[in-house]
A = this chain, B = another copy of it.
């Protein structure tokens, strides 16, 4: 594409991102100082429209970027925004906070991201497929209730109360605990299967219901985590003029409430360091007039989880991309620390 056409496209998108209103040739000529008259710009715009980079809501309105236009912008024109030091510090602080609970950590990440971007933040809990069980503990509450606590190598802690039919003694419990520890600690969590547990418990002739419940519980622990989704700043959508329509809002919110869909969105981004998905590229019906920036973070070179930002297609890509790249990077280096000893 010729240089000047790029400049015009860039101007249109930059302006539209800020003002959310169709951009006319005069406005481009005035504000972006390309050294040519509006008429020339009009010609360029006419070409750009023919090629599908911009659209006209109606004759005699200005032009609006199309999905294709945004795509070209993100791939070729966009300049990353230099983040201001105060924001960088804020990110570092939040990530450095000693939150050994992954839930709380993810939640505060989401809140931070949404506060910094004014969009909606998405996060998927780090995948557990590679993590191992690092400890398991059974605590007797009373004769009928046992609290099971599980620690994963990623620092996740889960507990669950399970109930048994017949009273259980301390001795029995520590037996079971030892058995579980011997057989399960160090195992990859995704390898702890129903079958494995059943075999283990069968050997020990445990009471039927107890066994069932323990299995049930462990299954929950291993499965739940992979699918846990966090969001933040959902209400930020309200400030975006594109969602001033109640119907659109409803659609959006009901989408965000469906964890499965959010997960699909985050997963659709693959395992590159950073992915930008624009409008129609979205894999989920109902998100077609949104854009998304997803960053993956890595532990030991392996994808550990995803964080993302969801906003209108008129997203401030430059800023958001810079920010998410930075956060993902910081996250990659912060996360392993959570499981090792500090200092």
Contacts and interface: CB of A to CB of B under 8 A. Distances in A.
A135 B159 CA distance: 15
Given A101-B160, A163-B98, A246-B238, A342 B144 contact: yes
A194 interface: no
Interface stretch (A4-12, A121-129, A145-153, A286-294): A145-153
Please classify the interface of chain A as helix (H, G, I), strand (E, B), loop, or mixed, using the class held by over half of its residues: mixed
Interface in A122-143: 134-135, 137, 139, 141-143
Given A235-B250, A238-B246, A250-B235, A149 B159 contact: yes
Interface string A253-264: 110010000000
Interface size class of A (residues with CB under 8 A): 35 or more
Nearest to A158: B159
A101 B161 contact: yes
Given A238-B253, A254-B235, A342-B163, A134 B141 contact: yes
Contacts of A250: 235, 238-239
Interface of A: 98, 100-101, 134-135, 137, 139, 141-145, 147, 149, 151, 155, 157, 159-161, 163, 165, 235, 238-239, 244, 246, 249-250, 253-254, 257, 341-343
21 contacts: A100-B163, A101-B159, A101-B161, A134-B141, A135-B139, A135-B141, A137-B147, A139-B151, A141-B151, A143-B341, A144-B342, A145-B341, A147-B149, A147-B151, A157-B159, A159-B159, A163-B342, A235-B250, A235-B253, A238-B246, A238-B250
